[in-house]
Structure formats: structure tokens, C-alpha cells
Amino acid sequence: MLGPHAAHSPNADDLNTLYWVMLAIGLVLLVAINLAVIGIVMRFRSARGRQPRRLVVRRPAQLGTAGVFAAIVVVTFVLGVIKTHDAKQVEASGPNGLQATSTLLAQRSLTLPATPASQAPLQVKACGQQWIWRYEYPDGTYSYYELVVPVDTTVILNLCSTDVVHRWWVPGLSGKFDATPGESNQTWFRADQTGDYDGASYAFSGASYAVMRTRVRVVDVPTYQAWLQQQGADIQQAQTFVQQVNGEG
Amino acid sequence: MRAQRPELVTDGPAPARPRWFEMAMSSDHKDVGRLYIGAALSFLVLGIVCFLMMRLQLGVPENNLIEPVTFNRLLSVGSATLIVLFALPLAFGLYTYVVPLQIGARSLAFPRLSSLSVWLYIFGGGLLYVSFIYTPPEAGFNSWPPLSDTIFIENNGVDVWIVAVGLAVLGIVLQSINLSVTIARMRAPGLAWRRLPAFTFSGAVSSWTMIIAGSTMLAALVMLEVDRHFSGVFFDAGAGGAPIYYQHLSWIFFTGCYLVFLLPAFGAISEILPVFSGKPLLSRTALLGSLAAIMPLGLLAWMQNMMSASIPIGWLYAAMLMALLLTIPIGAIFVNWIGTLAGGVLRMRAPMVFALAAISTLSFGLIGELIQSVIPVNWLLADTTASTAATGYVLVGGPILGGLAALYYWFPKMTGRTMSEGLAKPSAALIVLGAQVTFIPLFLAGVDGQQVDIFKFFKASDAINAMQLDTLNLIATIGAFVLALGIVLSLINAYIGIKGGTPAGHDPWGGETLEWFATSPPPPHNFDVVPDVRSDEPLRDIREAVRRHDASSTKPAETTEPVA
């Protein structure tokens, strides 16, 4: 109830770990402050004949208090940097994953693994448009709303937008990343389990923003290859049909 | 031909103009302050109506009560109302009224500028609501381009938003300049910076914040309007600009607004706690230093709202560090409050009750904010209702509970009457309860992935809504109504208090600062005599002097001691 979606990708795991750490720190502070205030109010409500007693704070006490908060800052900052770095570090595809389909491109916002070419990640272009996501695969095949990827395979999403600012997030697979017109942005995931993962757009994008959702369908490698072939054939067939209709019209 | 010299007519004084006309034309800081506060509370009611309608729509899944476009309009107008038309003007209204009295000044530095500023704000706010007659804005709470560009939103709603927000922010920036000059140049003799009352000091910091953040927003708004109607290319990715520039500029402003939710509440609470616990602040130096530190750290953390954007990671680390560093001054302020309360004799009057309620509610919001200050957690919680919940706690704890605490505290000074304690306590209880019942479910729904700003959410059968989103949203809607009821109770209380509250006297609470030296309500010139300030508790010194004087004057032989 209190926790985020179960992580099904290494980087989502980094995010979830830090969430629990921060929640624990937060809850301790929250309980301490509120209990202190409630306790003091119960204890020191006005009573006859008592004089207010002034606390004396000496310098060591002040520095000690500041030190406690400074320690929280240092710990959370260091943990934040470590986990951010880890989540940005793209891992290689696993043994059950797809073998190389594309060459590596230089990435601005991700750190890429030094892996043999056979384990190179699958690069998919994810374009937001009002109000649907369009996914384009390395061979030029595309799909709307649903991204189909093989299990245990590193997938790099190159985010782009053709109109307004969108923000891609599928809970359990990654963090949120912007698709802004004119900017390049990437994220990645490596799903460890087949199944459907639902997500949505998280940047307000106008009238039908609430229905701009998406789904990642993770399948095994043969199913993925069959699907890709079928999708390509379907697109080809539809285009031929449209050309025929246009020719007749 | 030379103009004739005017003749002096001496047949009696000019006929008295109606009271409302005098008030509207007045440049007296007390009239301007009351206009600000009255208008801000009126806009609060309108903002609450917008948000209650949105919560009704989100009470049940796949609701069709309100159309998507209407929902987006309520969202755009309601957010602008709560931030720019309620929270900022309430803060600056209280400052406008209280600061000159607290520093022993007879007016603000630029009296007419303050009159202009309040009317710019009221005119801008009115314009936003008049737009419901034709086309209200619909581009969301910060009107990001390209969505706010004419390609995507053709109607003039966004233009209304730009002009309305622009006028209100211009008013606030002018008043910030006014207040910062007043505090810098017009303090009573002996009132050094280190002796400034906490509320006035927070006023100086808030003013500096708004001079920076407000001017930034004015620039962004002008560029946005130029982009819309004068073929500008500031935020156009295809023509050499970039949408992300507007994101930076608008977040600098909204981060500044967030600080102005906090600073006045911090200042007011730090005034109220010592008075009602009968002992001075634990450490004035630490408190004032912390208030001052919040401004640079907070403003420099603006990019912590943009952690999903394609910004080089080093800048995001810097923003994260600034946001986390805020823990030190804010933590020091909370410790200061707890140390002030401990060992005191607590009088649980209305201002004290609201101040304590504000401390508790603020702690939830600020810790919620701390949790998502680290980048990985931000990637999880940003743009979900979990971040709404954290901001909501701060909005209720700061401008609403903190603002009402300040209002209950200074109401006797403004009107000469006190508000009813019988209504105040249920009101505070309902607000605290309503905030928890609204924001805990919203936080949980956000952790589960519910987006901000959506006009409907989908049934729980979907995997993304795996948990009981239906239940959580329904509870949040009920909580929002409890919260609204609590706020309205206090507004009714204020109305009753103005009409027929019990007369308060000049110093009902036993305050230690100079405003309690003036009569209630103060005369137009505030003080017949401005006293010399010898410590950070000038009124205590005056009381001591009077007591000594009385004691010595009853003994006929010893009347030689001079009296301050």
C-alpha cells in the first residue's frame, strides 16, 4: 500500500530502494516533530502559579542540532548521487535476451556498457503526440499505444515529441523522462518478466491528457520476432491498400 | 492671456466622501493592507469552489460530471487563484498592514505605489474570473509552451491568463520593492536588523524573493505573449528557441511562490509562540539566520521540479543539493519552535491553536518534499498525486493555517475587536483533519502512479491502478469538503468579528513588539510618539518603565528617577 510498484528492471530497483530509505528518514522526522509538539502541549498547558522557565541553549547544543540535520543532508545527497548514477548506467542484455539488432549510438544522458556487439541494446524511438505514444523499432516498423519488447533485453528509449511536452513513465520499469520538442532524451529498461506493464504520460498536454496512456508488453524472443514480422507485414498490406484506393479514387 | 489666480473658497470643509471610496483611494498602508487581505480571502473562496468541483469529478472513476475542457479550465483558473491571487496577496497584505506598525514607521516608503499595487492585483484577479463569460484559460497551472502556443490553443484563454497573472505579479513585485525599502530605511531609532520582529524579517526575505522570482515571471510572460501574437521565437523549438527556457523561468517563479507560502507562516508562528508561551524565542539569531538562508537555497533549487527534463546531470545534482540543504535552516526553525514551547506556560488561545496546527501540517508537507528531493525518488513521485499531496500540505499549513493564525493574532489590532474562540477551535480541528483525510489518500494514490491534473481516472481493473484507487479518491474528495468547511468557518468568524466581536483593547495578548504600542485600530499616523527601541522586546521595556514609574510615583519621596 505504501510502496511503489514492484521493480521489474534494474534501474527501477534503484529507484525503489531509495524510496524506502527516504520514507524511513521522513517518517522518523515526522513522528519526532509531531510527538514533541503534542507532548509539550500536554505537559505545559497553562496552570496557576507556574512561571515560564527559559531554556538555555549553549553553542555546542546549537552546533549539535545543526550537525544532525547536516548529517541527513550528506547521507541523502550521497545516496541520491549513487543511485542516480546506477540508474543511468545501462546494463547489458541478459542471456535470454535478444541478440544484437542495432549498432550503438552515442547517448547524451545515459552511460552505456562496454559489451560485445551481440549484446547491444535494442533501440526504440518513443514519440509522444497528442494523445498517444508511437513506438518505432530499428527496422522501421512502428506501433501505437503498445510497445512490444523481448524479455531480458536492454531497451533504450529515445524520447521525442512532435507537438507539446510529454513525459513517459511505466511504473516498475523506469523513472519519468520528458519528451520535449527539439530536445533529445533517453531512458532504458530491461524487463525481467514477461507480461503487460501499464503506464501513462505525466505532463499536462491539453484536452485529452487523461487518456494518453501506454502499455509495455514484454514477450519472449521468438514471440517478439514473430510479432515484429507480422506488424511489418500488416503495415505493408495497409499501405498497399491505401495506395490502391488512392489510385482508384 | 494669463490664467487667473485661483480664489480661496472658505465656505466649509469638502463634503465627506463615502467610506468605500475613501478606502479604495487611500494610500494608507492599513487601508491597502485590508484591501489586500479582503481580496485574497475572497479569491480563496473562489479557488476552493474550483478545487471542490475538480475533486467532485475525481470522486469516482470514469466520472462524466464535468467535461474535459471545463475541467482543464477549472484547473488553470483554480491553481492561478490559490497561488497568485490568494497565497501571495494574503502574505503581502499582512506585511503591508503589520510591518510599518512593527518597525515604528508612520507609513510605507512609497504610499501611492502600494495603492497602485493592490489595484493591479485586484484588476488582474477580476479579469481572470470575468473570462468565464467568454473563454477562460485551459493550458494548465503554468501554461507551458508549446501547449500554450496559438497552434495548440487558438482561443484567447491563454492571453487572459498571461495578462491576469502578469498584472497580479506586477502588483506583488512593486509592493515587494516598497516593503524592502520600508524595512531598510524606516525603522524606529534603535531597531537594528538583529532586533527586527521575526514577521517583519520574514517580510524582508519574502520581498527580496518576489523581486527576483516575480520579475523573472514577468519576463517569461512577456516572451510567451510575444511568441503567441507577435511571431516571437523565444520558446519555439523549430525556430531557434526552446520550450525548456520557459520551464526554467516559470519554475523560478513558482519556487519563489513556494518560499512565500513558507516564509510568512514561519514569521507569524515565530511571533505567536513566544507571546502565548510566555518566554522568548529559543534563539533569535538562529531563527533570523535560517529565514534568510531559505531564500538563496530555495531559489537555487528550482530545477528540482525539472528532474525528468533533458538537463545535464551535474545541474540536477546541484539542484538536489540545494533542495536537501534546505533541511538545515528549516530543521533549525522547527527545533527553535519546540525549544520555545518547552518549559513555557502555554495559553491555548485561537492564534496559538492555529500556529500549532500549522506546525504539524507543515511538517507533513516539508518532509514529503524532502523525500522527493533526491533525484531517483523524484523520478517516482514527481507529477503524481503524491507530489500534489506534499504541496497541498504546505499550502494548507502555510498560507491557510499560518495565514489564519496571523489573522487571528492581528485581527484585534486591525479592527479593535476579537474573533470568537468558540468558532476558531472547531475550524482549526476541521482544517487539520480535512488536510490529513485529503492528502494521505492522495499520497498513496500517487505512489501507485496516479497522475496530477487528469480530468478522470480509470477503474481499478487496470494494472496501473492495481490498488484501490477508487476508494482513495473518494476519501480524498470527502476530506476536501471537510477542509473547505473548516476554512469557511474561520472566514465566517472574521465576518462576525468585524460586525460584532468583543472589544479587544490595545494589547489583548500581551505582545512584545511595537504594533501593540499603537491603539486598536491605529490612527492614520500610527503613533503619536515613536519610542526608542533598546532591545528585541520593546513593549516589555515600555511596560517595565511604566511599572517603575507607577511604583516610584506612589512613594512621594523618590520621584527623581528619570523615565524613558
State residue B5's pLDDT score.
Answer: 67
State residue A101's pLDDT score.
Answer: 53
Residues belonging to chain B: 564
- Give me the residue label for grid cell 468583543: B502
Helical ranges in B196-326 per DSSP H: 198-229, 243-277, 284-300, 313-325
Does residue A158 sit in helix, strand or coil? strand
Residue of chain B with shortest Cα separation from A168:
B308
| CB atoms A163 and B146 under 8 Å | yes
Determine contact, residues B103/B125, Cβ cutoff 8 Å. Answer: no
pLDDT in tens, B366-411: 999 999 999 999 999 999 999 999 999 999 999 999 999 999 999 9
Residue of chain B with shortest Cα separation from A52:
B344
Among candidates B426, B130, B398, which has minimal Cα distance to B257? B398
> How far, in Å, CA of B163 to CA of B129, rounded?
12
Across A52-77, average pLDDT: 88
Among candidates B547, B532, B542, which has minimal Cα distance to B511? B542
> How far, in Å, CA of B459 to CA of B462, rounded?
7
Q: Does A42 touch chain B (CB under 8 A)?
A: no
A162 has which bridge partners? Answer: none
| Burial class of residue B528, CB neighbours in 10 A (0-12, 13-18, 19+) | exposed
> How far, in Å, CA of B36 to CA of B28, rounded?
12
Among candidates A46, A167, A233, which has minimal Cα distance to B308? A167
State residue B6's pLDDT score.
Answer: 63
Q: What is the dihedral of CA B90, B91, B94, B99, to 10 degrees?
A: -160
Backbone angles phi, psi at B56, to 5 degrees: -60, -45
A residues 58-117 near B, CB within 8 Å? 62, 65-66, 68-70, 72-73, 76-77, 79-81, 83-84, 87-88, 108-109
Q: Does B63 touch chain A (CB under 8 A)?
A: no
Q: Residue A168 has what DSSP assignment? A: E
Work out the mean pLDDT of chain A and round it to a whole number.
88
Count of CA atoms in the C-beta half-sphere (13 A) of B388: 26
Backbone angles phi, psi at A2, to 5 degrees: -85, -15
Helical ranges in B384-454 per DSSP H: 385-395, 403-415, 421-447
Backbone angles phi, psi at A88, to 5 degrees: -85, -15
- The one-digit pLDDT tens for each residue of chain B (564 residues) are 555 666 665 666 666 788 888 899 999 999 999 999 999 999 999 999 999 999 999 998 888 999 999 999 999 999 999 999 999 999 999 999 999 999 999 999 999 999 999 999 999 999 999 999 989 999 999 999 999 988 899 899 999 999 999 999 999 999 999 999 999 999 999 999 999 999 999 999 999 999 999 999 999 999 999 999 998 889 988 888 999 999 999 999 999 999 999 999 999 999 999 999 998 999 999 999 999 999 999 999 999 999 999 999 999 999 999 999 999 999 999 999 999 999 899 999 999 999 999 999 999 999 999 999 999 999 999 999 999 999 999 999 999 999 999 999 999 999 999 999 999 999 999 999 999 999 999 999 999 889 998 998 887 555 444 457 888 999 999 999 999 999 999 999 999 999 888 998 899 999 999 999 999 899 999 998 888 898 989 999 999 998 998 887 665 554 455 554
Q: Are strands A132-136 and A142-144 parallel, antiparallel or unpaired?
A: antiparallel
Task: Mark residue B104 as left, alpha or beta (left: phi above 0; alpha: psi -120 to 50; beta: remaining).
Answer: left
* DSSP symbols for B240-275: T--HHHHHHHHHHHHHHHHHHHHHHHHHHHHHHHHH
Residue from B147, B244, B361, B425 whose CB has the most chain A CBs within 10 Å, to mutate: B147
Strands, sheet with A166-169, edge to edge from the N-terminal-most edge strand: A146-150, A213-219, A195-201, A166-169, A177-179
- Give me the residue label for grid cell 506598525: B101
Q: Does A56 touch chain B (CB under 8 A)?
A: no
Q: Is it true that the peptide bond before A4 is cis, omega within 30 degrees of 0?
A: no
Measured between beta carbons, the chain B residues lying within 8 angstroms of A131 are none
Measured between beta carbons, the chain A residues lying within 8 angstroms of B247 are 165
pLDDT in tens, A204-221: 999 899 999 999 999 999
A residues 140-199 near B, CB within 8 Å? 163-165, 167, 169, 171, 174-178, 180-185, 196-199
Q: Does B440 touch chain A (CB under 8 A)?
A: no
Q: How far is B498 from chain A (nearest CA, A)?
A: 29
State residue B460's pLDDT score.
Answer: 58
Measured between beta carbons, the chain A residues lying within 8 angstroms of B449 are 5, 169, 171, 199-200
State residue A121's pLDDT score.
Answer: 86
Determine contact, residues B480/B51, Cβ cutoff 8 Å. Answer: yes
State residue B16's pLDDT score.
Answer: 79
| CB atoms B348 and A45 under 8 Å | yes
- Give me the residue label for grid cell 523525500: B371
Determine contact, residues A37/B341, Cβ cutoff 8 Å. Answer: yes
Backbone angles phi, psi at A248, to 5 degrees: -70, -40
B residues 470-529 near A, CB within 8 Å? none
> How far, in Å, CA of B235 to CA of B219, rounded?
13
Residue from B310, B338, B370, B454 whose CB has the most chain A CBs within 10 Å, to mutate: B310
State residue A96's pLDDT score.
Answer: 82
Backbone angles phi, psi at A125, to 5 degrees: -95, 120
| CB atoms B377 and A19 under 8 Å | yes
B residues 220-279 near A, CB within 8 Å? 237-238, 242-244, 247, 277-279
Q: How far is B471 from chain A (nearest CA, A)?
A: 13
Contacts of residue B425, defined as CB under 8 A and 6 or more positions apart, other chains included, come to B350, B353
Provide the whole-model pTM. 0.93
State residue A94's pLDDT score.
Answer: 83
| Burial class of residue B469, CB neighbours in 10 A (0-12, 13-18, 19+) | buried
Residues belonging to chain A: 249
Measured between beta carbons, the chain B residues lying within 8 angstroms of A204 are 140-141, 144, 147, 452-453
pLDDT in tens, A159-168: 999 999 999 9
Residue of chain B with shortest Cα separation from A201:
B451
Does residue A214 sit in helix, strand or coil? strand
Measured between beta carbons, the chain A residues lying within 8 angstroms of B328 are 66, 69-70, 73
Q: How many CB atoms lie within 10 A of CB B315?
A: 13
What is chain A's alpha carbon radius of gyration, rounded to the nearest angstrom?
A: 26
* DSSP symbols for A53-100: ------HHHHHHHHHHHHHHHHHHHHHHHHHHHHHHBPPPP-TTSPPP
> How far, in Å, CA of B443 to CA of A199, rounded?
18
| CB atoms B345 and A203 under 8 Å | no
Q: How far is B371 from chain A (nearest CA, A)?
A: 5
Count of CA atoms in the C-beta half-sphere (13 A) of B427: 26
| CB atoms B377 and A108 under 8 Å | no
| CB atoms B384 and A196 under 8 Å | no
Q: Which three cell numbers stand for residue A192?
A: 525481467
A residues 190-249 near B, CB within 8 Å? 196-210, 213
| CB atoms A5 and B455 under 8 Å | no
Among candidates B33, B31, B51, B53, which has minimal Cα distance to B43? B51
- Give me the residue label for grid cell 510497445: A147
Q: How far is B319 from chain A (nearest CA, A)?
A: 11
Contacts of residue B479, defined as CB under 8 A and 6 or more positions apart, other chains included, come to B433, B434, B435, B436, B437, B438, B439, B441
| Element spanning A166, H or E | strand A166-169
| Element spanning A188, H or E | strand A185-189
> How far, in Å, CA of B365 to CA of B359, rounded?
10
Chain-centroid distance, C-alpha B271: 16
Check if the interface score ipTM surpasses 0.95.
Answer: no
Among candidates A157, A206, A159, A197, which has minimal Cα distance to A178? A159
Size of the A and B interface in Cβ pairs below 8 Å: 259
> How far, in Å, CA of B384 to CA of A199, rounded?
12
Q: How far is A144 from chain B (nearest CA, A)?
A: 18
Long-range contact pairs involving B418-422 (C-beta distance under 8 Å, separation at least 24): B418/B497, B418/B501, B418/B502, B418/B504, B418/B508, B419/B350, B419/B493, B419/B494, B419/B496, B419/B497, B419/B501, B420/B493, B420/B496, B420/B497, B420/B501, B421/B349, B421/B350
